[in-house]
Amino acid sequence: MQLIESANEIKERATDWFDSVTEYAEARWNLGVLELSEKAAKSVSNLASALIVGIAGGLMMFFMSLSLAWYIGQKLNNMPVGFLIVGSVYGLLGVILFIVRERFIKLPIINTFIRNFYYEK
Q: What is the pLDDT of residues 39-48, one digit of tens each?
A: 888 888 988 9
Q: Could you state, in order of their start, the residue ranges of all structural domains in the chain?
A: 2-118
pLDDT tier at 9 (50, 70, 90 boundaries)? confident
Give the chain as a 3 state SS string: CHHHHHHHHHHHHHHHHHHHHHHHHHHHHHHHHHHHHHHHHHHHHHHHHHHHHHHHHHHHHHHHHHHHHHHHHHHCCCHHHHHHHHHHHHHHHHHHHHHCHHHHHHHHHHHHHHHHHHCCC
Q: How far is residue 80's CA from residue 92's CA, in Å, rounded to a whole number?
A: 18
pLDDT tier at 3 (50, 70, 90 boundaries)? low
Please determine, for residue 94, whether its predicted confidence score (pLDDT) is greater than 80: yes
Q: What is the dihedral of CA 97, 103, 109, 114, to 10 degrees?
A: 170
Using a pLDDT cut of 90, give the percent of the chain over it.
55
Contact between 43 and 117 (Cβ < 8 Å): yes
Q: Which residue has the higher pLDDT, 102 or 121?
A: 102
Q: How far is residue 53's CA from residue 108's CA, in Å, rounded to a whole number?
A: 18
